[in-house]
Amino acid sequence: MPSHGVGIVSLIALAFAICALYVKRLAGGWRRIHVIGAVIALYLNFFVLIAQLFQKVPALKVLAPTQTEAPFKLAQLIALVVFVVLGIFATRGFRNEQLWTA
């Protein structure tokens, strides 16, 4: 199933985010890797949510029965733009404060 493939990619992104947080302790460039990995994983899960909504909710299924119609593509495009913008804000807002004490 395509959703399983997206889930695997999401888990890979989460693996990088977890490694950056717990192994590298957000040192240097690992901060950005953590934020970007988390945002990518969340977006991919949201992507699958939209696809499932258009498959299972009758009102949405009428709008895009094959998921190639404009309403489905528009919903996915809006989600992508929102996640890109939020990801940029999150990356810029995650400053170099010391989070870990040894």
CA angle 34, 38, 44 (to 5 degrees): 145
Task: Name the average pLDDT for the chain.
Answer: 92
Q: Where along the chain do its domains lie?
A: 2-93
Name the token pair of 85.
């913008």
Q: pLDDT > 90: what percent of the chain?
A: 79
> What is the amino acid identity at position 54?
F
Residue 75 pLDDT more than 60? yes
What pLDDT was estimated at residue 62? 96
Judge contact between 34 and 21, C-beta under 8 A.
yes
